[in-house]
C-alpha cells in the first residue's frame, strides 16, 4: 500500500482524512472528524458568571455537564444567532493525558467528508477573517479552500477559564 505525503509532512496510508464540515457565520470550516464526539441539537445553556464572552456557559448532554463556547464570538466576529439548524458539536479536548468534552456552537452541520492529504496546505499568515493560530491548515474542498480548525488552540483550557475583566 502506498503512502502519500503532502507539503505539511502529513502521511496517511489511505491518503485521505475525514473532516466534519460545518458553517459558522456563513463560512465553511472543518475539524478532524475523530475529534468530534457527537453533534447535538442546540439546547438551553446555563450562564457561568464572569467568564469570557465566548464561553456561553454549560449544558447537560446525556448526563454530562459540558462547557459551551460560541465559535463566532471566539473568532471575534460577533455572536451566533440561534436558529433552527443551530447545533452544538462536542469536541474531545486532550490536556495532560486527560480528555474533556467541550461544546462549540455552530450554525449548521454541512457534512462529513474526506479531503486528500495532497489538498492540505499551510495556514496563511494573513487573508483570513480569523486569527491564524486557530487554523491547523487549509484544505481544498469542492475547488475552494476552507480552514481546518486547530481545536487545541480554539479550546485552550487556560484561555477558556480566564475570568473576564
Assigned domain for 78 exists: yes
CA of 50: how far to CAs of 64, 84, 100, 102, in Å?
22, 29, 21, 18
Assigned domain for 16 exists: yes
Number of domains in the chain: 1
Assigned domain for 84 exists: yes
Bridge partners for 161 per DSSP: none
Assigned domain for 165 exists: no
**CA separation for the pair 32, 121 (Å, rounded):** 15
How far apart, in Å, do the first and last CA atoms of the chain sit?
Answer: 55
**CA separation for the pair 165, 163 (Å, rounded):** 6
| CATH code of the domain containing 17 | 2.40.50.180
Residue 61: per-residue pLDDT? 94
Residue 55: per-residue pLDDT? 93
**Is residue 31 a contact partner of residue 20, using CB atoms and an 8 Å limit?**
yes
For every one of its 165 residues, what pLDDT tens digit does the chain have, with 9 covering 90 and above?
345 455 555 555 457 899 999 999 999 999 999 999 999 999 999 998 888 889 999 999 999 999 999 999 999 999 999 999 999 999 998 877 888 899 999 999 999 999 999 999 988 766 567 888 899 999 999 999 999 999 999 998 777 776 554
Residue 163: per-residue pLDDT? 56
User: Distance from CA of residue 27 to its chain's centroid?
Assistant: 12
Assigned domain for 29 exists: yes
Q: What is the pTM of this model?
A: 0.84
Assigned domain for 88 exists: yes
What domain range includes position 18?
Answer: 4-160
Assigned domain for 139 exists: yes
Amino acid at each position: 500500500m502506498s503512502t502519500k505525503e503532502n507539503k505539511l509532512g502529513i502521511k496517511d496510508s489511505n491518503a485521505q482524512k475525514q473532516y466534519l464540515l460545518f458553517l459558522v457565520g456563513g463560512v465553511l470550516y472543518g475539524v478532524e472528524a475523530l475529534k468530534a464526539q457527537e453533534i447535538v441539537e442546540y439546547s438551553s445553556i446555563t450562564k457561568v458568571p464572569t467568564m469570557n464572552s465566548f464561553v456561553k456557559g454549560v449544558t447537560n448532554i446525556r448526563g454530562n455537564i459540558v462547557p459551551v463556547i460560541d465559535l463566532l464570538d471566539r473568532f471575534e466576529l460577533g455572536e451566533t444567532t440561534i436558529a433552527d439548524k443551530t447545533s452544538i458539536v462536542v469536541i474531545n479536548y486532550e490536556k495532560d493525558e486527560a480528555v474533556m468534552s467541550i461544546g462549540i456552537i455552530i450554525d449548521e452541520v454541512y457534512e462529513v467528508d474526506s479531503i486528500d492529504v495532497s489538498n492540505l496546505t499551510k495556514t496563511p499568515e494573513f487573508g483570513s477573517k480569523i486569527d491564524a493560530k486557530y487554523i491547523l491548515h487549509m484544505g481544498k474542498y469542492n475547488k475552494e479552500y476552507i480552514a481546518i480548525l486547530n481545536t487545541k488552540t480554539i479550546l485552550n483550557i487556560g484561555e477558556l477559564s480566564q475570568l473576564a475583566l
